[in-house]
Structure 1
């Protein structure tokens, strides 16, 4: 607790020193997001007789942003916890978790002119349909990137170049194979009236193993097309992925997505779409890896809210979906989603290894409500249920067991208070 207090005091002192005798804008904000979950099979099926977990997570953030002339800076500290997981306690009371505080964002942005800027530090990235680069807000921690971002923009064009290079220590150049040693990208967007067209190229580097300096270079390239008018909204995206060097074997995989929204009547619209992620065919003798890696892409929501496919199956994934949205008011949003999942490639049946298994992975229904209670206060509730197949049970390693019907629900409230200060010349904020 003392450590947390000292950290907040240090930040306050830092900003007091930095904005002394300067003019600009200072915005102080916070975020509180407690979320109650009742888990009866979220992520993976549960056995009959197992107790149903009920738990509360909470994300708490303190944010401060400062802007002066051509310089912007932002810092965000966060605490993410389960209620009751504290490791600092005695029989007389609970005092906290000694490792829960972390830096969520910390960056400075130099606006060199009206069109060009440089952003340096820990920051959020989210592009296009967020298939491969996303902030992933369902995750309490989110995904942040230590990187340099160069931004160029005009009224119709926008170009971003992101560069990063990661290390775990000053002296040891080895790096865990499950983390990206580097994550570099270039993103271009062209926007005119109702049409938005964009392209992205991402180059990632991973070590072959934790104990070697050899690395795998992988390229992922994609394009997104979005067209929107008063009643119609369509989105199409396509990605291709391959290895850029000889380490890690040959890779050739694709990800395709198409979605159309249409207003049926006032305040009610229907969307239909398809997602396709290529995978490896067990019945093929090919040595090419066809499984598409979604990198830091969004999981939750794209492939259902149950998150049964946050890790793509080895044989890939097909997702046929329909989404109904009702907006009775500007502050209330009600959504009903349906998903039909299948494997993309062949897999042998574990109960009969000479036969191909049915590709059907089952159905999912998601119901979500979002309600703006007042300015800066939002309530969100959700309920999801999944209908399993034998193929899904084999994938989840629960074949032959008595299982519950997978379902879960949650209630979350998000509060984001903030205050903006205009700072005149030669003013010191205490």
Structure 2
């Protein structure tokens, strides 16, 4: 696979060097738009595989793309010293290759994913999944023109909504997340709405064995409205989740959870903001679910100051279970959030937490950026435990009244060599608080990760 990575780099530098126009790679690669190459008669080798005509009709074409990512991570005191108090380094690699075919009102999209973990002890299926179909779906357009689109999508597909607090592609971890199901979506210039019913894919170590997951169902609708007076943009959503078995500090069993929420946001200009609130209700066995979260983020960019510093402040309060042993569960379930929620090598997930998160970012050059952020964590309730990003219970909270979890300092150095190749160096230091010291070894945790990513 390392040989493949070198070949991709060589191919990229040779073919991309003479590219006439620069592509824009989207977070969801099936949203890439290559139609700007339709009228280009001087395409080089790279541009020829990005736009392959399939006849005289300009709506019949195919495109090929992908990425290769290598990530070396070094950690000290993994899980705050409970797993190991020695340094440990490992190399993760991820390869994605997709083919996209447009045939008038029909479209097919296929993507392979290979995720490998070298030198990592006991890697999870998210770390190592040798080769599988990551996406394979069929689109049928009922309406498609310059002003609006109505499409039915069926098959295996990625989904991502809002700020990725609830539904994300899991970009940070080694294997991205996909769903089996159907989605009907409509969009025009001012708003978009999706309705879907899916089963999340459960990754398995091996080759072509990520099968239909009968133990979880995920459904809902998500609407985004733009150009709203005073608030700019607003999201409105309903999300449903069923799991045959879920484990919380005070409940184990079949979970049926509904989420309703809204998000107000602005991502352009000097001032940017993102405010979100949602409520969850439902049942887990005989317990009644009543959970909630509030999140706020605001930042300001000093565009006329050297390095254009951007100062931001994020705060979150995420409910935990109030009383152990009663008939209620107030533990918030973040559903399918981005894996790197609090840093690239995140240990903590967004449940039963209060956190304050100031940050500052600098544009050192056109290609080089520096970010520094500091996070302080407390348990929202002392009756509930501490959870991982995948909602695995890390430590029970039943035998301690300590609330302070700890603080975390992270720095990011991002370098974009060009539109295709980028490098990121991230370091993080987690200062263990009184809760971690009482329930476990409670040593300070350190990590450093160097990532190289090539897209084409």
Q: TM-score range by the shorter chain?
A: 0.7 to 0.9
| Deviation at residue 365 of structure 1 after TM alignment | 0.4
Aligned to 1:154: 188
| Counterpart-to-counterpart distance in 1, 2:215 and 2:309 | 42
1:201 aligns with 2:238: yes
1:288 aligns with 2:328: yes
| Deviation at residue 216 of structure 1 after TM alignment | 3.7
* Structure 2 counterpart of 1:77, from 108, 112, 134: 112
Aligned to 2:312: 271
Aligned to 2:92: 57
* Structure 2 counterpart of 1:121, from 155, 169, 188: 155
| Deviation at residue 356 of structure 1 after TM alignment | 6.5
Aligned to 2:9: none
Distance 1:246 1:412, change over 3 A: closer
* Structure 2 counterpart of 1:218, from 257, 260, 272: 257
CA deviations on 1:303-355 (whole Å, 9 max, x unpaired) are: 3444121373xxx1011010101112332221101001011012499xxx999
Where does 1:349-388 land on structure 2 (aligned, <5 Å)? 357-388=401-432
Aligned to 1:317: 353
1:35 aligns with 2:74: no
Aligned residues: 366
Aligned to 2:276: 237
| Counterpart-to-counterpart distance in 2, 1:356 and 1:279 | 15
| Counterpart-to-counterpart distance in 1, 2:262 and 2:436 | 31
Secondary structure of 1:392 counterpart:
helix
| Counterpart-to-counterpart distance in 2, 1:48 and 1:113 | 54
* Structure 2 counterpart of 1:107, from 131, 134, 137: 137
Secondary structure of 1:136 counterpart:
coil
| Counterpart-to-counterpart distance in 1, 2:200 and 2:420 | 36
| Counterpart-to-counterpart distance in 2, 1:378 and 1:365 | 23
* Structure 2 counterpart of 1:398, from 441, 444, 454: 441
The answer to whether the Cα contact below 8 Å between 2:200 and 2:216 also exists between their aligned partners in 1 is yes
Give the unaligned 5+ runs of structure 1.
Answer: 2-14, 87-97, 169-175, 418-430
| Deviation at residue 208 of structure 1 after TM alignment | 4.9
Q: Determine which structure has greater relative contact order: mean sequence separation of CA pairs < 8 Å that are 6+ residues apart, divided by chain length.
A: 1
Distance 1:247 1:296, change over 3 A: same
The answer to whether the Cα contact below 8 Å between 1:304 and 1:364 also exists between their aligned partners in 2 is no
CA deviations on 1:375-406 (whole Å, 9 max, x unpaired) are: 310111100001112212334x326xxx4x31
| Counterpart-to-counterpart distance in 1, 2:175 and 2:154 | 20
Q: TM-score scaled by structure 1?
A: 0.77
1:138 aligns with 2:178: no
The answer to whether the Cα contact below 8 Å between 2:116 and 2:129 also exists between their aligned partners in 1 is no
| Counterpart-to-counterpart distance in 1, 2:80 and 2:139 | 46
| Deviation at residue 192 of structure 1 after TM alignment | 0.6
| Counterpart-to-counterpart distance in 2, 1:199 and 1:348 | 29
| Counterpart-to-counterpart distance in 2, 1:281 and 1:220 | 19
Distance 1:232 1:21, change over 3 A: closer
Secondary structure of 1:45 counterpart:
helix
